[in-house]
Amino acid sequence: MSRARAHLYIEGIVQGVFYRAFTRDVATRFGLHGWVKNLPDGRVEAVFEGEKADIEKAIAECYKGPPAAHVTNIDISWEPYQGEFNGFEIRYY
């Protein structure tokens, strides 16, 4: 297995629709660590760390989002695994 880190910027109707809670639940389901937060420009930012295959599954779920969301784009940057997180949290800016 290969550990990885993905940094995501999610665009669309993703604030005020429980997107952060959805992302936290997805990360927990796939055993990923990291965080998610709203950005002032209306996007959501997230970092996933874990097995690359599990991150790819989580990203596929992020494209779907919760029922009220409408994701138009996800900008994904793959980064080296750092192992700096002990769980997955919702951050507030």
**Catalytic center residues:** 20, 38
- Residue pair 35/92 in contact by the 8 Å Cβ criterion: no
DSSP bridge pairs for 38:
44
Cα 33 off chain centre by? 10
* d(C-alpha 21, C-alpha 19), whole Å: 6
Cα 55 off chain centre by? 9
